[in-house]
Amino acid sequence: MVKKSDRNKQMKFTANRWVRFLSIASEVDKEAKELNRKTREVCYRRHIGDGFFVSVTDGFSCIGIRKYFMPYGLSAPGLERPTKAGISLNLDEWRDMILIAIPAIAQIFRALACAQACYEAPSHQTATGKVACSAAIRSSSPTIGASFVSTRQTM
């Protein structure tokens, strides 16, 4: 669990989750800039696998990367609820993530450059393969990634 006062925020990504995250990072950045400008309503949320979503929403000046769950008795998309598993990055931390952390991770973890999202794999081209996808349910794949260390001091 990450407390507001923690300087080292951590989030573990599987290779599949990382690829999905990178595929939407520019959209997330666009929404974060809109959130900062306050020129229009912002309500953005995308699934990146394993029950994790990235969200940018009015009323919260942060980008959330958090695991969600479906409450008992509900099953419609959009009714998922956030858990404590995940992180929230304020707008300055998000900027650092885009400009510093992502390029650094790409240099350190070269294997991630060749990773592909599970939905691009041949196994996903059949209905059986899509249903059997561990990322859509629970992933047992090892995590590859790094922690994001905030360079900002907290008060």
135-145: per-residue pLDDT in tens? Answer: 543 333 334 33
Which three-class secondary structure string do you get for 31-99? HHHHHHHCCCCCEEEEEEECCEEEEEECCCCEEEEEEEECCCCCCCCCCCEEEEEEEEEEHHHHHHHHH
CATH code for residues 10-149: 2.30.31.10
Cα torsion angle, 48, 12, 84, 29, sign: negative
What was the pLDDT predicted at 125? 62
**Of residues 148, 108, 136, 103, the one with CA closest to residue 16:** 136
pTM: 0.71
155 in Cβ contact with 16 (< 8 Å): no
Indicate whether 54 pLDDT > 90.
yes
CA–CA separation, 96 and 139 (whole Å) = 28
Structure tokens at 48: 């990146």
Convert the pLDDT of each residue in 79-131 to its tens digit: 889 999 999 999 999 999 999 999 998 899 888 777 766 655 666 666 666 55
